[in-house]
Amino acid sequence: YLEQVEAIQRLDARIILMASRALARVAKGPADYLHVYDRVLAACDRPVILHWLGEMFDPQLAGYWGAPNFDGALDTALEVIHRNQSKVDGIKISLLDKDKEIAMRRRLPAGVRMYTGDDFNYPELIEGDDHGFSHALLGIFDPLAPAAAYAVGQLGQGNAAGFRATLDPTVPLARLIFRAPTQYYKTGVVFLAWLNGFQNHFVMLNGAQAMRPLPYFTDVFRLADGCGLLRDPDLAVQRMKRLLALYGA
Query: Which amino acid, one-letter code, is at 26?
Result: V
Q: How far apart are CA 160 and CA 158, in angstroms?
A: 6
Helix ranges (H only) for 84-144 are 98-105, 122-127
State the pLDDT at residue 150: 95
pTM of the predicted protein model: 0.91
Burial class of residue 67 (count of CB atoms within 10 Å of its CB; 0-12, 13-18, 19+): middle
State the pLDDT at residue 154: 96
State the pLDDT at residue 249: 84
Q: How far apart are CA 59 and CA 39, in angstroms?
A: 26
Q: How far apart are CA 95 and CA 217, in angstroms?
A: 24
Helical (H) or strand (E) element with 25 = helix 21-26
Residues of the chain with pLDDT under 50: none
Query: Which amino acid, one-letter code, is at 103?
Result: A
State the pLDDT at residue 116: 96
Between β-strands 48-53 and 113-116, what pairing exists: parallel, antiparallel or unpaired?
unpaired
State the pLDDT at residue 199: 94
- Find, among 27, 116, 21, the residue nearest to 76 by Cα: 27
Q: How far apart are CA 160 and CA 150, in angstroms?
A: 12
Let me know: does 9 contact 17? Beta carbons within 8 Å. Answer: no
Q: How far apart are CA 97 and CA 123, in angstroms?
A: 13
State the pLDDT at residue 96: 95
Helical (H) or strand (E) element with 93 = strand 88-94
Q: How far apart are CA 156 and CA 121, in angstroms?
A: 19
